[in-house]
Amino acid sequence: MSTLDTAAPGAHEEHHGPATGIGRWLFTTNHKDIGTLYLWFSLLMFLIGGVMALLIRSELFQPGLQLVEPGFFNQLTTMHGLIMVFGAVMPAFVGLANWMVPLMIGAPDMALPRMNNWSFWILPFAFAILVSTLFMDGGAPNFGWTFYAPLSTTYAPPSVTYFIFAIHIMGASSIMGAINIIATILNLRAPGMTMMKLPLFVWTWLITAFLLIAVMPVLAGVVTMMLMDIHFGTSFFNAAGGGDPVLFQHVFWFFGHPEVYIMILPAFGIVSQIIPTFSRKKLFGYASMVYATASIAILSFLVWAHHMFTVGLPLVGELFFMFATMLIAVPTGVKVFNWVATMYRGSLTFETPMLFAIAFVVLFTIGGFSGLMLAIAPVDFQYHDTYFVVAHFHYVLVPGAIFSIMAGVYYWLPKWTGHALNESMGKFHFWCSFIGVNITFFPMHFLGLAGMPRRIPDYALQFADFNMVATVGAFIFGFSQLLFVWNVIHCIRSRETVSAQVWEGAHGLEWEVPSPAPYHTHTTPPRVE
């Protein structure tokens, strides 16, 4: 891992440089080292979760059972979801926050550097536990990443207990990471960096961190109730004892809906950094962006039961959650409008980060619209648990969250390494991903509307063509990510240096420190005018 050494000999070191050997990574308190660790970990999880996705798509290439046992198929969908949500997307955003928030606000490091290291190093252990369940008697968790009771309690394999404790420690990691980010943003801003001058990535992360602290404990609560039901005789989710399996869904989605915004608000922040740079204009409607993000976060606590329209909610509940959900389209629309208005009459260029950011705006909006369709309760009765839902959330998570992470990495990698990207390879990666992602997920809308249920290894013959198309797209998308890995490594090892500003239109404190960013930055805080 020594190729990751971003503070090359002779770089602008103000204090001590990094330690040498493996100890640098195990014992580090440096926000840049920890950010790098998060990002590599997330890439590894993305590739593992991606291989599972390709196994799923291979089984679905044709109707009938050909590749995996149905039981193992269920384990694959469960583990794919858990690994991508908790192992790939969330740690990637935390890694980007670790790298960029202190640079952007003029802080010497994160507020609580040792706890920062702890937040990261819990994760490999938590995922070691989770992945080890694949090799246990009875197999890995097989109840879907939403782990509804009683599938995850009465009918669960024994490995569910390991899953519960893995969730507990990764939750502790998330909460500590979020506390660190909030404390850094509220307390370590450089003089003159007032709240309404914060770069939008910092604002979105502040709000995301609040969501994390508010809902990760609720996730801990719900898995604890599962543990009690499974092993200690309680009946939280068992109607025979007076409990209610639907209670599980309420508590889970009270966590789960803010959780999906945890995976998209930092994406909004990244895109709001990139689009102004390559439009060579200031972000349109900065204040409205901040308020829209806060509104989305607040609304996210009031919409959870739109995931549960078919469980038999009272009519007034269906209506409340339907209208509250549709209300989210308003602040989201403000954001999309502002991104487009930023580009309007801008002096646009289309480098790799900008391509991913524009694709994000377009494809995330498609995912948002299918979300609006799902929000309509009477219509959702038809769509519920079909491939339409799969298409919807993959549109907001893959060309949404994942594209924004790729955009952010391409945008900031030259700052981290001091080396230029290979633009043509970056563009090639973009076009392969863009085409692959749409071939994979767009047909799923049609499959869902036609009634194909999600989480099944086999399907009726009329769904065959679109499934075959989706599988071809998945392989295009999956294998094109190797181009991304190649480009990252190429950029680290390249000899082509870049200026401090890197991109012509880039502004902010992070572009005023040299490239590569020295091991310690802003040890004396800059003054922001």
Q: What are phi and psi of 398, to 5 degrees?
A: -85, -70
Question: Which of 332, 352, 433, 440 is the catalytic position?
Answer: 332
Tell me whether residue 335 is one of the annotated catalytic residues: yes
Question: Which of 229, 259, 351, 380 is the catalytic position?
Answer: 259
Helix/strand/coil for 419: strand
Closest distance of CB 511 from other proteins, Å: 21
Tell me whether residue 272 is one of the annotated catalytic residues: yes
Tell me whether residue 416 is one of the annotated catalytic residues: no
Tell me whether residue 384 is one of the annotated catalytic residues: no
Tell me whether residue 231 is one of the annotated catalytic residues: no
Closest to other proteins by CB, 235 or 499:
235
Tell me whether residue 522 is one of the annotated catalytic residues: no
Closest to other proteins by CB, 303 or 354:
303
Closest to other proteins by CB, 122 or 509:
122
What is the number of alpha carbons within 13 Å of residue 105 lying toward its C-beta? 29
Closest to other proteins by CB, 116 or 467:
116
430, 471 Cβ separation under 8 angstroms:
no
Tell me whether residue 12 is one of the annotated catalytic residues: no
Question: Which of 173, 277, 433, 480 is the catalytic position?
Answer: 173
Helix/strand/coil for 138: coil
Tell me whether residue 507 is one of the annotated catalytic residues: no
Closest distance of CB 185 from other proteins, Å: 10
Tell me whether residue 257 is one of the annotated catalytic residues: yes
Closest to other proteins by CB, 161 or 494:
161
Closest distance of CB 301 from other proteins, Å: 11
Closest distance of CB 98 from other proteins, Å: 14
Burial class (CB in 10 A: 0-12, 13-18, 19+), 364: buried
User: What percent of the residues of the chain are helix, what percent strand, and what percent coil, each to the nearest 5?
Assistant: 70, 0, 30
Question: Which of 59, 109, 351, 510 is the catalytic position?
Answer: 109
Question: What is the rounded distance in angstroms from the CA atom of residue 29 to the CA atom of residue 51?
Answer: 33
367, 328 Cβ separation under 8 angstroms:
no
Query: Where do runs of H (alpha helix) occur along 419-463?
Result: 423-449
496, 413 Cβ separation under 8 angstroms:
no
Question: Which of 24, 454, 490, 507 is the catalytic position?
Answer: 454
Closest to other proteins by CB, 63 or 317:
317
Closest distance of CB 183 from other proteins, Å: 4
Question: Which of 306, 384, 429, 520 is the catalytic position?
Answer: 306
Question: What is the rounded distance in angstroms from the CA atom of residue 438 to the CA atom of residue 476?
Answer: 10
Closest distance of CB 133 from other proteins, Å: 9
Tell me whether residue 454 is one of the annotated catalytic residues: yes
Burial class (CB in 10 A: 0-12, 13-18, 19+), 1: exposed
Question: What is the rounded distance in angstroms from the CA atom of residue 409 to the CA atom of residue 42?
Answer: 12
- Catalytic residue numbers read 80, 109, 145, 173-174, 257, 259, 261, 272, 306-307, 332, 335, 454
